[in-house]
């Protein structure tokens, strides 16, 4: 999940300190877990690592409950929860450092699906097929979710906990002040920019529009910023028919031009580059700017309202009346007329875990129907289990659930090949160069094309529209 909830920021500074902070080795021995239930045949100390975004209340509370449940069912066993407080890209770096050694590898990790293939190539993950084949709950997972957790080698490396979609969130009160319709339905990029310009002119003291951009926001910039634009053009990032990466793309340039327009100081319709490059921007949008009535429109994820629930980082009972959601339109309204990107996260077992059987038992506890429904509801997730999708408490948990679930019909997934993380980094570099005025759109696009050819090989690229 870019996010998910998910898209945050900044440089990898504390990796070595993190390694020192992680316990040198797991306690207890690895024992075979029964496949029929939640109880193990012997004690084990299991470490579970996940990314904590800001206060991270929802996941923290959820894992505390799972820890208690598992330890009660497995006397003598302990679950050590390792929150990694970091931006998205920093989390990836720190987690990979931990997984390199059996002395520091957790037993269960929160793995973004787009990293599965690259992490397999690096030898970080363990295939789960031997466990899943004996698990009677696997049939409850949607095929698309299973596919997201399956690598190019045909093996499955994670158990999904939810998926997401992306759209435009807008403040109806700000729209009313600006004289804009509170049932806003933009049909083109120009409609989005026009609304932002109207807010700037008529509602002072408000940032009209936010789209994530630049290196501190990491994959959030690439996925729910740039790719939400690119996939609304006639171009794409990867040509599936030819199995080649796309370069020389007009859609790529058009998307960069959109970024340039938003961050143009003369336009003044987005945050300043300094604000946008704040490593905490992702957290601020959900916990400060939107609840505080300081942001008119946000291109963001389905999960963001999780901040505003009772269990969230910024409880906001009025959010469902104040905030509207509408689909991000394609560039000129053509094609399906709207676009969304979907990601997703999984619970995976590192290849160097000392307790893989106990780790699998913990994953099964994380994904009981009851626990899966609780996290999908509290964490504002789109359910990936069939039984959870039909759960009454989940279906009625938010007025936004149906809207974001319906976007799955138009959603696009990132090309989750081993080269993608490097390609994504070049997207972010191009965005930042344009938004800060350090490069023209043409030069940034040219530099991107050359970088991609260097990453994948020129023979694995093809021209765009």
Task: Extract the residue ranges of the chain whose pLDDT is less than 70.
Answer: 1-41, 54-56
What's the confidence (pLDDT) of residue 14? 34
What's the confidence (pLDDT) of residue 16? 34
Fold agreement between 15-164+343-413 and 166-342: yes
Burial environment of residue 75 by CB neighbours within 10 A (0 to 12, 13 to 18, 19 or more): exposed
Looking at the structure, give the CATH architecture of the domain made up of residues 15-164+343-413: 3-Layer(aba) Sandwich (3.40)
What's the confidence (pLDDT) of residue 38? 44
For the chain, what is the mean pLDDT? Answer: 89
What's the confidence (pLDDT) of residue 8? 36
CB 110 within 8 A of CB 92: no
Nearest 5°: the CA angle 155, 158, 160 is 125
| Domain coordinates in residue numbering, the chain | 15-164+343-413, 166-342
What's the confidence (pLDDT) of residue 148? 86
Class of domain 166-342 (CATH, top level) = alpha beta
What's the confidence (pLDDT) of residue 399? 79
What's the confidence (pLDDT) of residue 2? 45
What's the confidence (pLDDT) of residue 114? 86
What's the confidence (pLDDT) of residue 171? 98
Both tokens assigned to 266 = 């003369």
């Amino acid at each position: 999940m870019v996010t998910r909830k998910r898209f945050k920021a900044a440089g990898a500074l504390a990796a070595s300190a993190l390694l020192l902070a992680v316990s040198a080795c797991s306690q207890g021995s690895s024992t075979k877990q029964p496949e029929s239930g939640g109880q193990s045949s012997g004690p084990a100390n299991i470490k579970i690592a996940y990314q904590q975004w800001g206060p991270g209340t929802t996941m923290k509370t959820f894992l505390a409950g799972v820890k208690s449940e598992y330890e009660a069912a497995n006397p003598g066993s302990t679950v050590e929860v390792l929150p990694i407080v970091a931006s998205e890209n920093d989390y990836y770096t720190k987690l990979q450092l931990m997984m390199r050694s059996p002395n520091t590898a957790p037993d269960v990790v929160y793995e973004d699906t787009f990293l599965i293939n690259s992490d397999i190539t690096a030898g970080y993950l363990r295939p789960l097929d031997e466990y899943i084949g004996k698990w009677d709950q696997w049939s409850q997972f949607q095929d698309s979710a299973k596919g997201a957790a399956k690598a190019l080698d045909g093996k499955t490396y994670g158990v999904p906990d939810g998926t997401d979609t992306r759209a435009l969130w807008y403040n109806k009160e700000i729209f009313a002040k600006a004289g804009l319709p509170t049932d806003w339905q933009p049909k083109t990029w120009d409609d989005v920019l026009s609304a932002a310009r109207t807010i700037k002119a008529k509602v002072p003291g408000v940032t009209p529009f936010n789209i994530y951009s630049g290196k501190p926001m990491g994959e959030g910039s690439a996925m729910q910023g740039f790719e939400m634009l690119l996939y609304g053009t006639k171009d794409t990032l990867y040509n599936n028919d030819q199995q080649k990466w796309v370069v020389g793309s007009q859609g790529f340039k058009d998307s960069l031009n959109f970024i340039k327009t938003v961050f143009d100081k003369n336009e003044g319709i987005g945050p300043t580059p300094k604000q946008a490059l704040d490593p905490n921007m992702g957290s601020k949008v959900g916990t400060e700017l939107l609840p505080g009535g300081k942001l008119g429109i946000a291109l963001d994820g389905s999960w963001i309202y999780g901040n505003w629930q009772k269990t969230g980082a910024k409880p906001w009972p009025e959010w469902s009346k104040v905030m509207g959601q509408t689909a991000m339109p394609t560039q000129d309204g053509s094609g399906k007329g709207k676009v969304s990107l979907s990601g997703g996260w999984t619970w995976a077992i590192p290849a160097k875990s000392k307790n893989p059987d106990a780790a699998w038992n913990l994953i099964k506890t994380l994904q009981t129907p009851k626990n899966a429904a609780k996290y999908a509801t509290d964490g504002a997730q789109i359910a990936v289990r069939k039984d959870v999708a039909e759960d009454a408490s989940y279906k009625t948990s938010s007025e936004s659930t149906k809207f974001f679930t319906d976007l799955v019909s138009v959603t696009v997934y990132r090309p989750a090949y081993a080269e993608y993380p490097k390609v994504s980094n070049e997207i972010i570099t191009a965005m930042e160069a344009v938004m800060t005025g350090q490069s023209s759109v043409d030069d940034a696009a040219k530099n991107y094309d050359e970088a991609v050819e260097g990453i994948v090989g020129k023979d694995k690229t093809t021209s765009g529209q």
